[in-house]
Amino acid sequence: MRRLLLVVGLIGCASTTANSPHRPKTAREIVDTSSPAVVEIEAGDNRVGTGFVVSNTGLIATNLHVIEGETTIKVKLFKETTPIPVMSIAGVDPTHDLALMWINPPHRLTPVRLGDSSQMSAGDKVYAIGNPLDLAYSVSDGLVSQVRQLSAELTILQISAPISEGSSGGPLFNQYGEVIGVTTAIVTDGQNINLAMPSNYLGPMLRKPQQIALADFARDTAALAKQHGESSSGDDDNVEIVRDVPNHSINVLDGCSAHDIQDIVTSIAEAIEIGAPLYNQKTKKGYEACYRVYEGTALRYANTTDAACKGVRAAFGDGLLRANSLESYKEKAWAMRDAFDGLIDVAKRWADVNHATLPVD
């Protein structure tokens, strides 16, 4: 369900240097001015997603997972009833789940304005336009919950604006009506933790658009499509586990009371007590059950709206996002255990400094 700046003027791509003043816009203004650039995407027989126009000559951006493995891809423009076939693929970025497509539009298109996603931070207002559950041009709003750097190559935007099936590949706007993200995925089933890929990752593809035949694209991305379709159904026992326990500064506990810290440690200990025996069954169901126990504990803290313990919320959120990036439940369970162990370690160091007693050793 998965991230500009100087864009070549010869291909008519969107730019951050538009003539309109850089001022905050109302939600209505953003919807009215931006909806014509939002498109529906039909891939294969039953895959539906969203995309947006980034060139007045027919360049469309979306998520790679919306179209991967397909030779028949169509785009339905704003207020049009007849979809337009995609002629070729203009760029692919598997690392950031992004793709560009060429269409031959019946008229000159109006592209979105691209903003600088590196300027976004937690608390910034955002708006998403997409086609959730095939409900065309639905609008949702929310905040940037956190900007999370998962690795040197991957930073994502965690947002509170709801994303549903069919919204993948849609534009995420800042308060100025600029696209600063591509709505990508929901972290876990049934949870309102939503992700967007920063729009700055589109830059390399926009600067050097390609012409990739659909048959070649489908062949080259067939393995990705199969992998996503299987959704963590591989042989977990053959997966090599790489531990990555965070080494938190004691400042991660700033804002937490002694009671808060004791509660966190107790909850983690209880989750491990329940989850570890499930993991030790060494079956796929056992690995998944363990992960779900750990995930539930992490979500309880990551989703809280309490002002205290912001660092702890972020630490749990980082663990959830790392787990979501992994394929097998065995790996996911260990990713959450790493997040737990990192928090237990910093809690012990806090207790030593403050001469406090924790409920576990």
Active-site annotation holder among 96, 97, 117, 199: 97
d(CA 80, CA 83): 7
Residues 6+ away with beta carbon under 8 Å from 17 = none
Query: What 3-state DSSP class applies to 89?
Result: strand
CB-based contact 308:255 (threshold 8 Å): yes
Dihedral in degrees, nearest 10, Cα atoms 60, 65, 66, 68: 80
Q: Identify residue 199 by its one-letter amino acid code.
A: S
306 part of the active site: no
Count of CB atoms within 10 A of residue 212's CB?
Answer: 18
Kindly name the residue from 65, 138, 145, 236 that is annotated as catalytic: 65
Tokens 């919807």 identify what position? 31
Q: Is 97 a catalytic residue?
A: yes
Note the helical H segments in 169-283. 203-207, 214-230, 258-279
Measured CA to CA, the distance from residue 323 to residue 330 in angstroms comes to: 10
Of residues 44, 56, 58, 10, the one with CA closest to residue 211:
58
- Choosing from 55, 167, 168, 199, which is the catalytic residue? 168
Active site residue 65: yes
Residue 273, judged by CB atoms within 10 A of its CB (0-12, 13-18, 19+), counts as exposed
Q: Give the catalytic positions in this structure.
A: 65, 97, 168
